[in-house]
Amino acid sequence: LSASGISILVLLIVSISGLGDSIQDLRHPREKEQLSPEIVLIFGSIGVCFDLISFWGFYRWGLHSILSGYGEGSPMASPMAVNDAMSPSSRIIGSTSMNMRSAFMHVGADLLRSMVTVLEGLLVIFGHTDGKSTDSLASVVVSVTILCGVAAGVLAWSRQACLFFSRRSTEELLPDTPLVEFSRSLPDGLPECL
């Protein structure tokens, strides 16, 4: 849970920083090196290929971890699964799922950046747009889109953290009682999960 939280925080900080720099460059263009659209296009294309291979790896070996949840229709929705959720091994599974989701979010952000980089190179080469402003505008698009995705990641992480800490508090209060038996009479001090 902590690794995924740090990962989401890093993605958030980098996106906000990139957004701020890009907006500053659009408002007050600085003299910097000329953009080489061919290099941008090659870099973006290699990035897209690498990210698609990474997505294939997630699909092949980690799809269940990414899509697992506790909603209705999920295997975790049954009362027996709720009892099993109190076991220490379920924390490992839950944190693995959150870590996989966090890693998936990073690969998705990188794929988005790579695709926008390819589009940027194509616009500068064939559309004859200004390289500096196109680069700054591309960074704004990527940063804003990633921030929207990070918001969903923060929500999922918050739910996972809430469940973790409420289970921990519950185990400390009533260590030998199954969750299903006392869930109707929880003390007021336990947090409600999002």
E strand or H helix at 46, and its extent? helix 37-57
Instruction: State both tokens at 131.
Output: 């390289």
Q: How far apart are the C-alpha atoms of 118 and 40, rounded to whole Å?
A: 7
Residues 110-139 have a mean pLDDT of 92
Residues 138-160 have a mean pLDDT of 86
pLDDT for the residue numbered 93: 44
Mean of the per-residue pLDDT values of the chain: 75
pLDDT for the residue numbered 20: 93
The region of weakest confidence among 3-17, 59-73, 130-144 is 59-73
* Most confidently modeled range among 30-39, 96-105, 162-171: 30-39
Nearest-10 Cα torsion for 19, 22, 28, 31: 150
Residues 132-139 have a mean pLDDT of 90
Q: How confident is the model at residue 66 (pLDDT cuts 50, 70, 90)?
A: low
Report if pTM > 0.85: no
In the chain, the percentage of residues whose pLDDT exceeds 90 is 25
70 pLDDT exceeds 50?
no
